[in-house]
Amino acid sequence: MLNNIDRGNPTGKRDYAILILVAKLGIRVGDIKSLQLSDLNWQSKTIEVRQNKTKNTVTYPILKDIGWALIDYLKNGRPVSDAPFVFIRMNAPYEAFGKDANLHNIITKYTRLSGITVPHGNRQGLHSLRHTLASTLLEQGTPLPVISEVLGHFNSKSTSVYLHTVMEDLRKCAIDPEEVLKNV
């Protein structure tokens, strides 16, 4: 999906930066919308966010690709504005996204452009990228408490909602009934 974003225009630069933050760091939509320029610490290469949902302060690394996406957007895509927010509307007035803006149109646009079909009933919003991140980390053997911390959850129970057992892992647990009967 990220490869299908036209980063040659300001909106594409913004959308790419938003999507990469959600896909690679699992930052919630509300936190993306409230992210301020002062939350970016270029010296320590970190992003410090006070989460809207939990009210906890979380520090994320500015990974190389995320850093370059943010720099490209801030230098070459973000409209001139006094707004303290990193991500702002691309149409005047150049200010923060509205309170009720869920940014669903951003992921919908690039899901379609990428030819990705989402089965009816499955989540399709930016939250689905958090789910994908959690699933990928689980598949890579990342411990559940670490995944919980990445997603900004208080405990692993909150995280378990995102995680579906991987079919390959289920196959490893399968027992051949004929093999069992041979050894009885």
Count of Cβ atoms closer than 10 Å to residue 53 Cβ: 10
Residue 53 in tokens: 């949902």
The answer to whether residues 18 and 77 touch, using CB atoms and an 8 Å cutoff, is: no
Tell me phi and psi for residue 4, to 5 degrees.
Answer: -95, 10
Active site positions, annotated: 28, 53, 127, 130, 153, 162
d(CA 154, CA 151): 9
The answer to whether residues 112 and 95 touch, using CB atoms and an 8 Å cutoff, is: no
The answer to whether residues 118 and 141 touch, using CB atoms and an 8 Å cutoff, is: no
d(CA 97, CA 104): 12
